[in-house]
Amino acid sequence: MIVLDNAVECCFRSYISSEKRLVGNNKPIKPNQWANDAKFFTKVMDHAYTNCPSQSLPDKNEIMHFHDTRNELYHRAKPLTVPSGVVRKYLGFAKVLLKEFYGFSMTDEAWDEYVASIRNAFKEKPAQIRLPIVYQKEGANVRVDGVEVLDQKEVIPIVMLCFSTSFGRNPTTNELINSMTVSGISIGRDTLAVQLFYLRKNTVVKKKKYEVTNRHRKVLNTKYELRRGD
């Protein structure tokens, strides 16, 4: 249930930041607005629904019911067992969202085969699997697609590296924050400062610079397939 709800939220965020590229100074969602709204599941869902022309999306109240159940499992540590029928219903909603947001659909048999292939890939060749990350300039910032599922501390060095590769220099504080925002990751100055403290302490980011260390560059290139977009 927790994994499924995370996937649904990722579906919303990716649709906003990557599929439709709705965040930007000249876009429907302004960066400052997204920096605040991205903290709340309901607002993220509202933005996705508002900007999707489909009339066949699942009822938002039902989605919220599933999300609340997930929160009770994850945050409140309640001793709950979610019936398999509830999980299957939410999975059905998730498939509808994929179809309506991305035009992606499969038969049940195809889904089973796809899931099995992914499990086998992770089981047999874990070292060869790299998460694809596509980046490109967007005005004075860089937009990085594919990072919505990652933690802030993981995204910060990725955005730094993609920015320096795109522009030939390290980003400023505002450019780093704005680049993360258009990439679907909201972060404030205070939070960024805290994350940078630990990233520098762990030799991920160079001291007094917005630059990834050479050691961590190798780590990123091992874990991710970083490539420029069109």
Say what percent of the chain tops pLDDT 90: 52
Per residue in 64-79, pLDDT (tens digit) is 999 988 887 766 655 6
Work out the angle at residue 10's Cα, subtended by the Cα atoms of residues 115 and 226, and round it to the nearest 5 degrees.
80
The last residue of a domain, from among 106, 124, 142: 124
- Could you tell me if 113 and 136 lie in one domain? no
- Could you tell me if 34 and 95 lie in one domain? yes
The last residue of a domain, from among 98, 124, 150: 124
pTM (predicted TM-score): 0.67
Number of domains into which the chain is organized? 2
Per residue in 134-178, pLDDT (tens digit) is 999 988 999 998 887 788 899 999 999 999 999 999 999 999 999
Q: What are the φ/ψ torsions at residue 75 (nearest 5 degrees)?
A: -90, -35
- Could you tell me if 57 and 72 lie in one domain? yes
- Could you tell me if 112 and 174 lie in one domain? no
- Could you tell me if 146 and 52 lie in one domain? no
Range of the structural domain that residue 16 is part of: 2-124
What does the buried/exposed string (b/e) look like for 153-175 if buried means 16 or more CB atoms within 10 Å of the residue's CB? ebbbbbbbbbbbebeeebbeeeb
The last residue of a domain, from among 100, 124, 148: 124
